[in-house]
Amino acid sequence: MPQMSDIPAGECLLCGGTLTGVHCLGHWSEYGGGGGFWFSALCQTCDIDFRLSIRNGIFATWRPDAPEASELTSIVGEDGLAALTAKFKRYATFGPKWQSFLNRRRDGDEVWRFASANGLHNGFAIVRCGLPVSGFRVLGFISAGVLP
Ligand SMILES: [Zn+2]
């Protein structure tokens, strides 16, 4: 596992502040012996989680724990959000997660649907000033039954 002192300090893409609370989220292994680690950190000013991956010893860069802008498909209006909230309330797992996802919005933030490029996830993203800053992910194979 990489030493904490090796982890590059992260800077928030929105406010330029220093990310805090860096910790290891876990690791993965790949066929052929490769693998890597995930680290997480927070911009307290913006309330945005960031992730950093280290694959086979190579550090990626800190980026928001959110879908890519290219994965966004359509914006969700207030009516759509109300309908989703009513739907997710019926699920013990999705209801509270959805509520805490929505609670991270700030004035002017938008909610968009997204579909991941690898087809594994669908869901929703909070978009601030054109940048996805938070994600609500649903595994592709469940989303057909859950997402309206
Ligand atoms: Zn920030």
- Distance (Å) from CA 131 to ligand 1 centroid: 12
pTM, two decimal places: 0.86
Confidence of residue 146 (pLDDT cuts 50, 70, 90): low
- Distance (Å) from CA 127 to ligand 1 centroid: 14
- Distance (Å) from CA 18 to ligand 1 centroid: 8
d(CA 130, CA 29): 33
Q: How do residues 44-73 score in pLDDT, each as one tens digit?
A: 999 999 999 999 989 999 999 999 999 999
pLDDT, mean of residues 91-108: 93
- Distance (Å) from CA 13 to ligand 1 centroid: 7
Q: How do residues 4-32 score in pLDDT, each as one tens digit?
A: 888 888 999 999 999 999 999 999 999 88
Q: Looking at the predicted structure, is the pLDDT value of residue 101 above 90? A: yes
